[in-house]
Amino acid sequence: MAQQHSGNLMMISLHGYVAGTPELGKPDTGGQVVFVMELAKRFARLGYRVDVLTRQFEDQPAEDRINDNLRVWRIPFGGPDFIRKEDMHDWYGDFVTNVLSAVRRNNLQYDVVNSHYWDAGVSGQKIAEELQIPHIHTPHSLGWWKAKDMESLGEGKKANYRFDERIEKEFVLYRSCDHMIATSEQQVELIEDHYDLPSKHITMIPPGIDEQRFTATTPTVLEGIRKRLNMTKHDVYVVGRAATNKGYDLAIQALPHLLELQPEARLVLAAGANSDDDKALVKTWKQQAQDLGVGDKIDWRGYVSDDELADYYRAPGVFALPSRYEPFGMTAVEAMSCGTPTVLTTRGGLFEQVEFGRHALVADPTRPKEFAAMLNMPMQHEWVRERLMVEGARFARRTFGWTGIARRTIEIFERYIGRYDDP
């Protein structure tokens, strides 16, 4: 019989639109919000009482009750308007004060704080110290890596990412928390090397997927999905927020080379663009496609709704994750779980975990021809397609099912719970 746990868990994820059903595609609302909520749901199922703390702004309710063991609790601070994640920490003092006030006023007890991303981490450390409970931090991305990557793209200064400030705060946070959970081996190495942290202070646990939702489907059903979504086996699908590091330009640069090998190929690009900056980026990419003479071979879909995600993963011939910087690459795992051959880059956290040619294909994100050759492989060779479909799905489901990920995370919590109890 599966072990049942009990305890009270405070999870903190501050930026974006956090909810039981997140509004994906909105600013700062993507893979991390999915990660936090899916993990929270499994913790609740395994017996923990979980409060997911986030920021209340715009017209959001103070609380979403998801089930008997789980709620999203929104704490107001920083005014009524959206605040981008790079600036969130300017207000964290008010968040900490408001949380501690509410916890004491309501006589709430927590056994552990689990924070996500550095803005929540800095706040979570203060809260854990005040409440005398352990703090386990998941960084999701690292300021050092992102700064280096953006610098190579000439993006750092223009976007005002405040990297120096972020890296300094991360450095102190990583030393102060009780333990860190990294989402890839690559991230563990970067934390050890560039934040000078001993390996025993870090555990690698990858993100998970909803194994019930992201599944392959029968050829007959797939035919209907493709017809409905106007997609074919020669389509390459890319999905994500409109951001420079996501590599949409690499996919576009690879397209002329792919068309030499597969004249029927198309790119289906679902770039969620909300802000003016995002829309300007999409405009730049469209111009790039026109300049390369492939504008008519790209289908721009914009934001894909949550209930359509799985079918969009199933419909193309190939799924591509062309990111130049990607802490993990959740969309690729979801696509693999749906049985779609997947091409990654060597710059993502997932690259370290897949077996090339068995689970997925990989290419250097600075080499469009190489990327095009990998996109072509499953379209050109049936045996490659079939192997990636079967082995990729098996790997994704066994390695990244959320319940297993939650159990591994709880083991870390239980190692530290009680550490600060009075002797």
214 domain residue, yes or no: no
Are the C-beta atoms of 177 and 135 separated by less than 8 Å?
yes
Q: Within 13 Å of residue 277, how many CA atoms lie on the same side as its CB?
A: 9
Q: Domain range spanning residue 262?
A: 219-400
* Predicted pLDDT of residue 158: 44
Q: How many domains in the chain?
A: 2
421 domain residue, yes or no: no
Are the C-beta atoms of 309 and 225 separated by less than 8 Å?
no
Considering the domain architecture, whether residues 263 and 201 belong to the same structural domain is answered as no
Considering the domain architecture, whether residues 390 and 250 belong to the same structural domain is answered as yes
Considering the domain architecture, whether residues 387 and 410 belong to the same structural domain is answered as no
* Predicted pLDDT of residue 147: 63
* Predicted pLDDT of residue 189: 86
How far out from the chain centre does Cα 161 lie?
19
* Predicted pLDDT of residue 150: 56
1 domain residue, yes or no: no
> In this structure, what CATH number is given to the domain that contains residue 279?
3.40.50.2000
Considering the domain architecture, whether residues 68 and 156 belong to the same structural domain is answered as yes
Using CB atoms within 10 A of its CB, is residue 158 exposed (0-12), middle (13-18) or buried (19+)?
exposed
In angstroms, the CA 14 to CA 327 distance is 18
Considering the domain architecture, whether residues 260 and 159 belong to the same structural domain is answered as no
Considering the domain architecture, whether residues 187 and 304 belong to the same structural domain is answered as no
Distances (CA, A) of 407 to 10, 65, 72, 280, 417: 17, 23, 21, 42, 15
* Predicted pLDDT of residue 292: 97
2 domain residue, yes or no: no
149 domain residue, yes or no: yes
* Predicted pLDDT of residue 233: 97
In angstroms, the CA 402 to CA 337 distance is 13
Are the C-beta atoms of 136 and 116 separated by less than 8 Å?
no
Considering the domain architecture, whether residues 32 and 110 belong to the same structural domain is answered as yes
Considering the domain architecture, whether residues 193 and 226 belong to the same structural domain is answered as no
* Predicted pLDDT of residue 5: 64
316 domain residue, yes or no: yes
Considering the domain architecture, whether residues 152 and 187 belong to the same structural domain is answered as yes
Considering the domain architecture, whether residues 201 and 236 belong to the same structural domain is answered as no
| Strand boundaries in 27-111, DSSP class E | 48-56, 63-67, 70-76
* Predicted pLDDT of residue 2: 46
Q: Mark the ranges of the chain whose per-residue pLDDT is less than 50.
A: 1-2, 155-158
422 domain residue, yes or no: no
The two three-digit tokens of residue 34, written as one number: 């999915």
Considering the domain architecture, whether residues 263 and 171 belong to the same structural domain is answered as no
Closest by CA to 74, choosing from 55, 87, 47, is: 55
Closest by CA to 339, choosing from 386, 393, 303, 269, is: 393
In angstroms, the CA 132 to CA 422 distance is 10
Considering the domain architecture, whether residues 265 and 196 belong to the same structural domain is answered as no
Handedness of CA 129, 130, 136, 137 (dihedral sign): negative
Cα radius of gyration (the chain): 22
